[in-house]
């Protein structure tokens, strides 16, 4: 598969991508656990059907030491026993927030779990992370950025 539009082949798109990358530093520098951040990026990318982002974030998670079992079970996290309660809350929020356009909403029960497990700074980072990965998913899915060739750290 070939990209229909190269995000780094256009001045406007490249400028936007660079700014989006800089905005993500806020989450990178937050106290949100790195494992939670990666799980959120994987799950939203799966829901949005973004092959490039799914490829990138599963490889990044593995490179950071995440287990193959946990990575493989992200799509079925509700039935899996390998995720902590805080991670489960973050995955529920990710699913509900990513599916807003499908007529969904963030439920009160999910929000209660988020409040139970995360402080305000972590919640801010979680909201930013979900918004950010959804933006990346849309950019790459629309541009049809091919998946499979990503190497961990290549954009560092």
pLDDT in tens, 61-71: 999 999 999 99
Percent of the chain with pLDDT over 70: 100
Assigned domain for 88 exists: yes
Q: What is the number of structural domains in the chain?
A: 1
Assigned domain for 81 exists: yes
pTM given for the model: 0.95
C-alpha span between 18 and 38 (Å, rounded): 20
The residue range of the domain holding 57 is: 14-143
Between the alpha carbon of residue 34 and those of residues 47, 50, 73, 138, the distances in Å are 20, 21, 17, 23
Give the burial class of 136: count Cβ atoms within 10 A of its Cβ; 0-12 exposed, 13-18 middle, 19 or more buried: buried
pLDDT in tens, 122-148: 999 999 999 999 999 999 999 999 999
Q: Can you give the CATH number for the domain in which 110 is found?
A: 1.20.1290.10
């Amino acid at each position: 598969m070939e990209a229909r539009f190269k995000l780094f082949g256009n001045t406007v798109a490249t400028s936007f991508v660079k700014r989006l990358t800089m905005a993500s530093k806020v989450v990178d520098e937050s106290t949100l656990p790195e494992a939670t951040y990666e799980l959120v990026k994987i799950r939203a990318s799966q829901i949005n059907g973004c092959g490039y982002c799914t490829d990138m974030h599963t490889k990044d998670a593995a490179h950071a030491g995440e287990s193959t079992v946990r990575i493989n079970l992200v799509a079925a996290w509700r039935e899996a026993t390998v995720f902590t309660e805080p991670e489960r809350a973050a995955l529920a929020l990710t699913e509900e927030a990513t599916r807003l356009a499908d007529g969904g909403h963030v439920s009160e029960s999910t929000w209660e779990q988020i409040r139970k497990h995360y402080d305000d700074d972590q919640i801010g980072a979680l909201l930013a992370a979900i918004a950010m990965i959804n933006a990346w998913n849309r950019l790459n899915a629309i541009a049809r950025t091919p998946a499979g060739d990503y190497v961990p750290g290549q954009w560092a």
